[in-house]
Amino acid sequence: MAGKGEAVIFDMDGVIFDSETLVLNCWREVAECHGIRNIEIVCHECLGTNSAVSKQIFLRHYGQDFPYDEYKAEMSEVFFGYASGGRLKKKPGVEKLLKYLKESGIKVALASSTREAVVKKELEEGGLLGYFDEIVCGDMVKRSKPEPDIFLEACRRLRSEPKKCYVIEDSYNGIRAAHAAGMHPIMVPDLMEPTEEMQGLAETILGSLYDVIGYLEPFYLDV
Cis peptide before 146 (omega within 30 of 0): yes
User: Which one is catalytic: 11, 13, 149, 170?
Assistant: 11
Nearest to 15 by CA among 146, 186, 158: 186
Q: Is 11 a catalytic residue?
A: yes
The two beta strands, 107-112 and 165-169, are unpaired
Nearest to 47 by CA among 12, 89, 74: 12
Nearest to 137 by CA among 153, 156, 124, 126: 153
Please give the positions annotated as active site: 11
